[in-house]
């Protein structure tokens, strides 16, 4: 299953399938991009980040891809599980004067169908 | 290891009342933040404290004040609550050094102003 950034806020996938959550960012000067997961009733939780000079980074069952040409970021979750059901936020950071400004997107809700 | 602790978890205020949201972190982080989260708006930064002794406005500071009481604690005060301040409030902290982007969030405070 695949979402198209901020205009399709809900993504439903079958358990075991791969999920792709997309995000369009705004500032070409951003130096890091981050994905957070927020479960219902909880605060956001860091998943993975990627530096702006990279185009791919892998974690445990997750891969983040960065395409700076079109200012696009994606989070791929392999073998999606019910515990992956949550809202996923992308964020971009800009470091200036020693301070890292973080701007969050509005999020995509991932629903895993058992 | 408690991480970031926010109190209270829920609060109902009448218009014009004041209250202080408390936040404490036990990770020796330099930077602390207050965000509000509204449906369809993502997380918006209210105020931040890059290090102990400093505070700065974020995107939506109007109607709020903050105090960085010490390295551990960062409080958010609403002097005269308005219905527009009905939201879920999150406190977060980061090391604030180097390229470490990971922020740790509290569980949130759900505030309703009637």
Each residue's pLDDT tens digit, B84-102 = 999 999 999 998 766 678 8
The pLDDT tens digits for A43-60 are 999 999 999 999 999 999
**CA of B104 vs chain A CAs: smallest distance (Å):** 7
d(CA A74, CA A77): 10
Query: Which residues, including other chains, have CB under 8 Å from residue A20's CB and lie 6 or more apart?
Result: A1, A2, A3, A74, A75, A76, A77
pLDDT (average), residues B58-66: 96
pLDDT at A8 over 70: no
Residue B98 region, left (φ>0) first, then alpha (ψ -120 to 50), else beta?
Answer: left
| pLDDT given at position A57 | 97
Which residues of chain A approach chain B closer than 8 Å at the C-beta? 32, 34, 41-46, 49, 51, 89, 93, 98-100, 102, 104-107
pLDDT band at A4 (very low <50, low <70, confident <90, very high): very low
> Which residue out of B23, B31, B36, B101 would a mutagenesis test of the A interface target, given it has the greatest number of A Cβ atoms within 10 Å?
B101
Across residues A106-112, what is the average pLDDT? 92
Cβ distance of B99 and A34 shorter than 8 Å: no
* Best residue in B103, B107, B109 for a mutation probing chain A (most A CBs within 10 Å): B103
Digit-coded pLDDT (tens) for B9-34: 999 999 999 999 999 999 999 999 99
C-alpha distance from residue A16 to each of A20, A80, B53, B77 (Å): 13, 5, 49, 45
């Amino acid at each position: 299953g695949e979402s198209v950034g901020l205009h399709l806020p809900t993504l439903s996938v079958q358990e075991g399938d791969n999920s792709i959550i997309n995000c369009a960012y705004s500032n070409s000067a951003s130096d890091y991009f981050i994905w957070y997961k927020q479960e219902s009733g909880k605060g956001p939780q860091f998943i993975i980040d990627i530096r702006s000079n990279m185009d791919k980074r892998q974690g445990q069952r997750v891969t983040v891809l960065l395409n700076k040409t079109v200012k696009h970021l994606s989070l791929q979750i392999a073998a999606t599980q019910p515990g992956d059901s949550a809202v996923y936020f992308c964020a971009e950071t800009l470091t200036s004067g020693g301070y890292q400004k973080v701007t969050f997107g509005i999020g995509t809700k991932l629903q895993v169908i058992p | 290891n408690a991480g970031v602790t926010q109190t209270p978890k829920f609060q109902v205020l009448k218009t014009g009342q004041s209250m202080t949201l408390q936040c404490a972190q036990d990770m020796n982080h330099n930077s602390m933040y207050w965000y509000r989260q509204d449906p369809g708006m993502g997380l918006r930064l209210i105020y931040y404290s890059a290090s102990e002794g400093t505070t700065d406005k974020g995107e939506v500071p109007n109607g709020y004040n903050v105090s960085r009481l010490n390295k551990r604690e960062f409080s958010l005060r609403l002097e005269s609550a308005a219905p527009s301040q009905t939201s879920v409030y999150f406190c977060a902290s980061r090391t604030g050094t180097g390229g470490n982007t990971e922020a740790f969030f509290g569980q949130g405070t759900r505030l309703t102003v009637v």
